[in-house]
Amino acid sequence: MAEYRTPLRDMRFLIYDVLDFESHFASLINRELVDRALLDAILDGAGQFAERELWPINRTGDAQGCRLVDGQVQTPDGFKEAWQTFVASGWSGITGDPAYGGQGLPHSMGLFVEEMLSTANMAWTMYPELSHAAMNALDTHGTEEQKQRFLAPLLRGEWTGTMCLTEAHAGSDVGLLRTRATPNLDGTYAITGTKIFISAGDHDFVDNILHLVLARLPDAPPGTKGISLFIVPKRTVAEDGSVGEDNGVNCSALEEKMGIHGSATCVLNFDEATGYLIGEEHQGMRCMFTMMNAARIIVGIQGMGCAEAAYQQALDYARERLQLRSLSGPKNPDGPADPIIVHPDVRRMLFTQKALVEGGRALAYYTVQQADLAEFGADESIRQDADAMLDFLTPITKAFLSETGFESVNHALQCFGGHGFITETGIEQLVRDARITLIYEGSTQIQALDLLGRKVILTQGKALLRFVGAMRAAAEECADVLPEIAGRLREVADEWGELTLTVAASAQEDLDEVGAASVDYLMYSGYATLAYFWARMAMVAQAELAAGETDHFFEGKVATARFYFARLLPRAEAHRRAALAGAESLLALDQEGF
């Protein structure tokens, strides 16, 4: 089996040289004690856990999958043991509130860890990631008693958590859900209903699981305005925190899935299960988005992580696999053929993977930097600006990184040829695993509507204008040393604003124009944001080379930036034209005509 190597060099390049996380951490309220020594220790430790504990059980987890035995889910060999090591090493609560047993580190440090774990074993990492979403909701909306009773065991890794949103008839339209919450005399609620597609819904890691369940009270108004959020433990929890008997929560089936077989995707039945209201009645959607927004950034990281693992294997294979001769003459004259990395189209596929993975990593890190500032910024204006930028970038991060991540793993499979299509290399598993990232936590289409409708048009593009301003500033900064990049970056900044104004004007006449343009608008936005980050990375790398640095790492950054602007950024023009094409061609055919 091929090795996985945590990309610490590239991570540190972004963290220290491009995005200056050292100064960033120093600017945060109550998080300023994070320094380089601590960050390096965490990066190294998480990298070792990913490489030594998670990567070796990635293939076995896919082959074995989860099993439902007598109503209890059994995870693949090594999964439970990896969880025990994870908890014993202190990873479960690194970003949690210290008042409840967490370590209080910034959100971004948690994301760095999650990237490495998810890249090494996406299926296993679903379990702590779902717990993390539950922690966020409890920390933001829970009462003090709920935090002591439920949040603390999650942070310690003694319990895990889930998000129970989806029902078979509702899908992404959660306003149609039917799960009922009936008030009990003691202030609790009896929860009854069925939820599907519940990741980490049952397993053998711990003795209790906290389900965060969307349900309706008897007097709830219809639609999303009538949804409330409840804590529903798998087993009852006494006031002193002790775990009791079963609580009417049962796993009736495991979904047979295309990928992430080691992640238990459950059908959960709630039969008069005791639940506790989080937040206010009928405010469940607000609470839900506390979970969802963080989860969406993580899903983008998952897509990018699959691409990172696949790129590493494709690159190694392309260097070793001998096939055909270079058109410009033999590059391996003493061998029977040349390594396939010398062939231009293999290099195109490798460059595409490298550009999308490393550019996507920069976008994700910048986005989570905004999450840090939105909560721990030094003053209210900083927090508000960061929150707006976070809202704007989250759908781009989720959808664009998952879309391009799936493209990248397919390029990796193509580099392997037939050897990629069989299970031996593990590439086909990464293709299957990556495919879900385009769907869950809000599909690409949902993210696109959110971006264009809510985050741009309804806000009059305030965050977009700020980001476009940063693009123009970067173009000016690199005009002398990288003029070809600077000129195109300036053009894209202007085009993005013009595209937005045109689509927004069309939407005032017909709201179908938003749906018709949204996905192409999002993809354009993704290519535009990566152009900005590749310009920034290229400037840093070019400065190192100009100072006499001879490291191939920096040469690779400049070359990849030039490849991105020459070969990938032109895709944005096709998306721009499609977004401007309007809804007419989409709506011209009656249903019967399809």
Residues with catalytic roles: 441
Is-contact 442 450, C-beta < 8 A? yes
Give the residue from 287, 311, 315, 43 showing the smallest Cα distance to 174.
287
Q: Measure the CA–CA gap between 514 and 542, rounded to whole angstroms.
A: 40
Is-contact 155 89, C-beta < 8 A? no
Paired residues of 266 in beta bridges: 198, 254
Q: Give CA separation, 568 vs 55, 171, 260, 318, 490, in Å.
A: 31, 34, 29, 21, 16
Phi and psi at 436, nearest 5°, equal -70, -25
Task: Give 59-75 as a DSSP string.
Answer: HHHHHH--EEETTEEEP
Q: Measure the CA–CA gap between 223 and 430, rounded to whole angstroms.
A: 37
Q: Give CA separation, 383 vs 112, 371, 375, 378, 443, in Å.
A: 22, 9, 6, 8, 28
Q: Which two tokens stand for residue 293?
A: 């927004």
Greatest Cα-to-Cα distance within the chain, rounded to the nearest angstrom: 84
- Rounded to the nearest 5 percent, the helix, strand and coil shares of the chain are 60, 10, 25
Q: Measure the CA–CA gap between 255 and 436, rounded to whole angstroms.
A: 13
SS3 assignment for 335-389: CCCCEHHHCHHHHHHHHHHHHHHHHHHHHHHHHHHHHHHHHHCCCHHHHHHHHHH
Q: Measure the CA–CA gap between 580 and 585, rounded to whole angstroms.
A: 12
Q: Which two tokens stand for residue 415?
A: 């580099």
Q: Measure the CA–CA gap between 413 and 371, rounded to whole angstroms.
A: 34
Q: Which two tokens stand for residue 17?
A: 């040289």
- DSSP code of residue 220: P
Q: Which two tokens stand for residue 54?
A: 């998670």
Q: Measure the CA–CA gap between 520 and 406, rounded to whole angstroms.
A: 17
End-to-end alpha carbon distance in the chain: 46
